[in-house]
Amino acid sequence: MEHTRDIESRMERKAEHYLKKIIKVFMMVLIFTVLFLLAIYVLMYLWNWLMPDLFGLSTINYWQAFGIMVMAKLLFGFGGGGGKSKGSSSKQGRHKASNRCGSLRRDFEEWKHYEKFWKEEGEEAYKAYVERIKNENHDT
């Protein structure tokens, strides 16, 4: 008798667990759908507010805004591709970036003296350069 009560309570807990998951998934789908439909309405409102005045285009209805939204999602993606991949760590990413930009990083090292150079010689060197250019232009 005790064994059957234990089995029944476990089954009830499993059923509650799965029911909660189903409700969560349903609510997430419902919220996503409502937000998507709201975004279409906002797109339609913004289009009808801005585009006729700015570009002389006609106003659109809700279904045309829906088509524009779907087309934009197809062309520009669904916004989920910016995350980290599971197999790489931040150290590996930094190592790959340093390999790609190695020559640029070496060139950048030379720029650390730029401010000091500009303060000491930069303005005078620039004026001399401008004079040289003016003289070369007068010769031709």
pLDDT tens-place values along the chain, 140 residues long: 778 888 888 899 999 999 999 999 999 999 999 999 999 999 999 999 999 988 888 999 999 999 999 998 888 887 766 556 555 555 555 555 556 665 556 666 666 677 777 777 777 887 888 888 888 887 65
Long-range contacts of 43-47 (CB under 8 A, 24+ apart): 43/68, 43/69
Closest CA to 68 of 97, 46, 94: 46
pTM: 0.48
Q: Write down the pLDDT at residue 23.
A: 97
Q: Write down the pLDDT at residue 79.
A: 73
CA dihedral 64, 69, 72, 77 (to 10 degrees): -150
Is the separation of the CB atoms in 41 and 64 below 8 Å? no
Please give the Cα distance from 39 to 93 (Å, whole number).
Answer: 35
DSSP, residue by residue, 9-39: HHHHHHHHHHHHHHHHHHHHHHHHHHHHHHH
Domain ranges of the chain: 8-77, 98-140
Residue 44: how many CB atoms within 10 A of its CB?
A: 20
